[in-house]
Structure 1
Amino acid sequence: MPRFATSTPITALAVHLLLFLGACSEGSSNGQAPPPKEDLEGARAAYQRGNAQVKEHLKTPDHATLRAAINSLEESVRLAPNEILHRLMAGRTQELALNSEAALAHYRVATGLGHEDPLVWRRMGTLALGLGDLDQARGCFERALSQQASDPELFFGYGCLLDLEGELEAASQAFNAAIAIRSTYDDAYFRLAKVLRGLGDEAGADAARAQFDHWNRVEQNLDDARRQVRLHPEDAQGVRAVGLYLFQLQRAEECTDWLQRAKKLLPRDATVLECLGRVQSGLGQIPAARANLELAVECAPGSVDPLRELAFVLAKEGDAEGALGRMAQALALAPGDADLHFQNGVLLMQLQRPDAALEAYALALVNDPDFIDAHLGQAEVHYGANRREEAIAAYRRVLAIDPSNAAATGSLNFILGEGK
């Protein structure tokens, strides 16, 4: 899971898209009267029954169970039409049954009652898009974007809408935003490739298509590994493969379960231990992450990766000297590795040592002068130290290498705008 000194400004991109296209949103009202008191008990009973039936259906998919759940939840909203939770559950269940119009109607009532969850607005946008109501889809997506800028599915849906409306440049920005949040998003790469071809960017389209092919292949390999483990539950290599494919796809919680299982079968597999430690670190399970990464270092003493990851975990624990010591060990093993010097710079920034970070980024650039993230790291240090001209120069170096770089473009425009 790569670390960046300066990440793509997703929030700024969401705002940019809305300003670029002109935001529109749907109104909501809160003026409806509460349901009759005598109906609430029956509504709750129907809701609880429907909720249990949905869980049963998800565990063992069955049309009859799903139909029974729909009937129960429709009864709950008939008895208590203004109960938001009942409306949401009824809408979600209608989605499971692919009844888009019914699902959208329930969500519309819930939002009209004042429910402002951006996930619901995103679902409404997706449903409206599938039904061909592009105006409603746009209103729903933009309502969600005004509240939430870290949902890859939201940017993907918005990109599909923009593509259908022929706004290809904005669509490419939306798909890139989805990918920046979830780098394994195969469908977003597929749609991005299509849009870029429409814009005449054949090289970009080919690169996006290659990413789609890669992640689609990982998904297929994961399915194959799961089938193998279903047939042979104690196959250590099969369990390991499932865990590692999930790690590649960044499905943290499920990945943790499978790698824990693999660890029991292969207790000194350094790759399993390292990946498990990295996932646990991302989930905030720092003591467990440290234990697994230290064991990975012990099992593979000449490997750079577990040392690097252990350094970041130690930094999270507040052990600055330990973190720097482990990173120094890694650098001693790979002194010419530009990315490792860059990661050292990121670590030093986390430890609030910007001058040392600047030196680390410079060493990365000695080994790879076109290393964009290292240039961005230098720009961040300079800007943080109020060295405005040096920051501008660093961002311009990035744009000389990659004129379409969103992080450099957004940050440079922001700095230049400050001086006006």
Structure 2
Amino acid sequence: MALRAKQFDVARQLAGEALKSNRSDRNAVMILAHALIGLGRTDEAITPLERAAKRNDDPEIETLLGHALCGVGRTPDGIAQLRKTAARRPPYLPAFQELAGQIANCGDIGAAVGIMEQALALAPASVDLQLDLGRMHLRNNKRGEARRVLTAARSAAPGRTDILTELARAALLDGAYAEAADTYRHALGLRPDDLLSRANLAVCLMELGERGSGEAALRAVLRGRPHMLGRVALAMATSSRGRFFFRPSAAAKFLEREPERVATP
């Protein structure tokens, strides 16, 4: 419970007490490692994870160990560990996801895409793998492939807002503004408080020539949330039919004034 609440120091202390009674307590090791990583003390998590990995034939421990090794700059060791875990059968899918992410972080996004495709071949019904593959295609600037994969994921899980927002972002980046706007509206119908999606919807509307509706959407994002000014100003500036302000105060003044009478999307 402490770990889920991100009370990492409490979780660390409790896991440490459990390990004093039973050094081989697998769950305590996992909680301790996650807590140390959450505290930014990843280097301290490696030794207990290595010991647990030697005692147990446990792909979850091995995957977290690979993550920790990469997190402290021992990337070749971490990737080697993750490759070993990904080679297990039956497959442990999070190992593929972690391996692909670490390889992408090293700059080889094409290889990361290949790893996700390999994982999806082993578990073709996994919507989470489809989502991760779509995201990886976007990182590789393969927008058409991203839209194809994410469309299939949406068909399999139409109520997943994370899939909808990624699909909308792919369409937005691909210049399919009407499609992106419809998908963002669907996502916002499921999660109205998603401010980033509402800001991206505003960009789509402005690109479609609906500047008033787009600016109304941005006013809705900013209202009562001054910390969102930068994101809202960026949305206006990145649209080819938006507005650019040299000073944040000028953008704030424009957005806080009485808007024209348009329906907020």
Same fold (TM over 0.5): yes
Match of 1:408 among 181, 193, 197: 197
C-alpha distance in structure 1 between counterparts of 2:3 and 2:83, whole Å? 35
Residue in structure 1 matching 2:112, options 323, 332, 343: 323
Q: CA deviation at 1:372?
A: 1.0
| Corresponding residue of 1:228 | 18
Where does residue 261 of structure 1 map in the other structure? 48
Q: Report the TM-score, using the length of structure 2 for normalisation.
A: 0.65
In structure 1, how many angstroms separate the alpha carbons of the residues matched to 2:112 and 2:6? 36
Q: Tell me, yes or no, if structure 1 residue 304 matches structure 2 residue 126.
A: no
Displacement of 1:221 in angstroms is 5.0
Counterpart residue identity of residue 262, structure 1: L
Residue of structure 1 equivalent to 2:5: 215
Q: Which position in structure 1 is the counterpart of 2:252?
A: none
RCO higher in structure (CA 8 A, sep ≥6): 1
The 1:255–1:218 alpha-carbon spacing in structure 2 relative to 1, beyond 3 Å, is same
Q: In the alignment, what sits opposite 1:41?
A: none
- Separation (CA, whole Å) in 2 of partners of 1:406 and 1:312: 26
- Equivalents in 2 of 1:214, 1:299: separation in Å? 29
Post-superposition CA distance 1:176-233 (Å, at most 9, x none): xxxxxxxxxxxxxxxxxxxxxxxxxxxxxxxxxxx9894278865543221133466x
Q: Which residue, 324, 332, 336 being the options, matches 2:125?
A: 336
Contact 2:168 2:180 in 1 (8 A): yes
Distance 1:362 1:281 in 2: 32
Higher radius of gyration, 1 or 2:
1
Query: What value does the CA root-mean-square deviation take over the aligned residues?
Result: 3.1
Are the aligned partners of 1:277 and 1:293 in contact in 2 as well (CA < 8 Å)? yes
C-alpha distance in 2, partners of 1:284/1:367?
Answer: 38
Quote how far apart the aligned CAs of 1:385 are.
2.1
**CA distance in structure 2 between the partners assigned to 1:252 and 1:359 by the alignment:** 39
Q: Letter of the aligned partner of 2:47 in structure 1?
A: Q
1:258 aligned partner, one-letter code: A
Distance 2:98 2:192 in 1: 32
Superposed counterparts of 1:174-323, under 5 Å: 214-215=4-5, 222-230=12-20, 235-237=23-25, 241-247=28-34, 250-251=37-38, 253-267=40-54, 268-282=57-71, 285-299=74-88, 301-323=90-112
Q: Which runs of 5+ in 1 are unaligned?
A: 1-210
Do 2:109 and 2:139's aligned partners in 1 also have CA atoms closer than 8 Å?
no
| Gapped regions of structure 2 (runs ≥ 5) | 205-213, 216-238, 243-265
Distance in 2 of aligned mates of 1:336 and 1:249: 34
**Contact 1:375 1:395 (8 Å CA) reproduced:** yes
| Normalised TM-score (structure 1) | 0.43
**1:301 Cα deviation after fit:** 4.5
- Aligned mates of 1:337, 1:266 — CA distance in 2: 27
Alignment check: 8 A CA contact 1:294 1:310 kept: yes
Query: Does structure 1 conserve the Cα–Cα contact (< 8 Å) formed by 2:2 and 2:8?
Result: no
